[in-house]
């Protein structure tokens, strides 16, 4: 009689990819709700466009490759689309998110062989493509609704996205100019522009957009993504080393920079609670396909991302740096994994 032996634990049920992706999307909901509350309907429209484009592009490529369309149900296209939609300015033209999402699915994912084969995070590849190709549109974030003289309704958002003008005839650029009489678009934009003009951190943070630790709206959006990230950890959908290393290294390097030069840099809360910091630390850097796999490697990988975010924000030309930091770290993953590979039993040290 055959006697089968298997390793423990014996009561663990493997989680399917579809369930994993769906639960990650659920954990995005607090951040999505906060982004809608502070920045309006535009982000929801952009996510809807991204989802339709992602599934259409993936179905097309699968058909051309002669593969089954059943893999559309794994949820990976949905998650990629949501991340791209969240990264696009709410009133950006419709074709921007369509181009970015199609590129993410067709080139950054399927061209490498599909889910599990991509070297880089598809959503961040799309974001960088759009930022480099269409910098004016990708930096056209409006201030939070409370700081806008003419907050866009759902109908205004749809009209601006598909026609370029709100129902009252304002373009997103005009809305930003009207709001910029008292504030800039985002806290990170304000910091980058202010430091370039030779102003001190205290003078810049006197702007109405800094109505708190890290900016009106943005700090609450980041706290919402932090809550979603903690849910990911609680559900064991991600492991702790990467987000901990990203946030700890960003805090440490920003603290050192602030202590050395408080007039030309900002305190750690402005880095941790602005831009896409929490979204990047918990939902982007932890991509299981493109991230490091060993425990020590994940700590090194996350630390590298935090360092790159601080360096690019402080010395680079882009206000937020999550996408560039993640893609640069993705390039180092094979070397990190090879150098941090644990010793097997009996292997000489």
Residue given tokens 């369930």 in the structure block: 19
What's the chain's average pLDDT?
87
Give the count of alpha carbons within 13 A of 348, CB side only. Answer: 0
The arithmetic mean of pLDDT across residues 298-304, rounded, is 96
Interatomic CA distance for residues 292 and 242, integer angstroms: 9
Q: How confident is the model at residue 72 (pLDDT cuts 50, 70, 90)?
A: confident
Which of 192-196, 213-217, 279-283, 335-339 is most confident? 279-283
Interatomic CA distance for residues 112 and 106, integer angstroms: 9
Residue 69 in this model has a pLDDT that exceeds 50: yes
Q: How confident is the model at residue 318 (pLDDT cuts 50, 70, 90)?
A: confident
Do residues 283 and 83 make contact, with C-beta atoms less than 8 angstroms apart?
yes
Residue 10: per-residue pLDDT: 46
Interatomic CA distance for residues 173 and 52, integer angstroms: 27
pTM of this structure: 0.88
Residue 162 in this model has a pLDDT that exceeds 80: yes
Q: What tokens appear for 336 in the block?
A: 């990190």
- 3-class DSSP state of 293: coil
Q: How confident is the model at residue 2 (pLDDT cuts 50, 70, 90)?
A: low
Which of 107-121, 259-273, 294-308 is most confident? 294-308
């Amino acid at each position: 009689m055959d006697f089968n032996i298997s390793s423990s634990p014996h009561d663990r049920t493997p989680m399917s990819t579809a369930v994993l992706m769906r639960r990650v999307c659920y954990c995005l909901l607090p951040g999505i709700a906060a982004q809608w509350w502070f920045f309006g309907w535009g982000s929801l429209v952009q996510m809807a466009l991204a989802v339709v484009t992602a599934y259409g592009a993936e179905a097309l490529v699968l058909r051309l490759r002669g593969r089954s369309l059943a893999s559309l149900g794994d949820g990976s296209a949905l998650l990629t689309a949501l991340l791209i939609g969240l990264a696009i300015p709410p009133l950006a033209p419709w074709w921007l998110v369509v181009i970015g999402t199609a590129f993410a699915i067709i080139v950054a994912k399927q061209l490498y062989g599909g889910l599990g084969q991509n070297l880089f995070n598809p959503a961040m590849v799309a974001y960088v493509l759009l930022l480099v190709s269409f910098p004016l549109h990708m930096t056209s974030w409006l201030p939070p609704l409370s700081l806008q003289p003419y907050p866009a309704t759902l109908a205004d958002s749809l009209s601006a996205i598909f026609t370029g003008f709100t129902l009252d005839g304002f373009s997103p650029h005009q809305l930003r100019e009207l709001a910029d009489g008292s504030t800039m678009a985002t806290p990170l934009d304000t910091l980058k522009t202010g430091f370039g003009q030779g102003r001190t951190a205290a003078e810049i943070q006197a702007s109405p957009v800094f109505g708190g630790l890290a900016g009106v709206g943005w700090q609450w959006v980041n706290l919402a993504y932090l809550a979603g990230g903690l849910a990911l950890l609680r559900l064991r959908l991600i492991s702790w080393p990467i987000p901990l290393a990203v946030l700890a290294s960003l805090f440490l390097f920003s603290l050192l920079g602030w202590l050395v030069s408080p007039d030309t840099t900002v305190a750690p809360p402005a880095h941790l609670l602005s831009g896409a910091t929490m979204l990047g630390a918990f939902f982007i850097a932890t991509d299981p396909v493109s991230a490091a796999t060993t425990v020590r490697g994940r700590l090194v990988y996350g630390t590298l991302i935090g360092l790159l975010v601080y360096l690019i924000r402080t010395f680079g030309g882009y206000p937020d740096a999550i996408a560039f930091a993640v893609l640069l770290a993705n390039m180092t993953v094979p070397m990190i994994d090879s150098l941090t590979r644990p010793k097997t039993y009996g292997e000489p040290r």
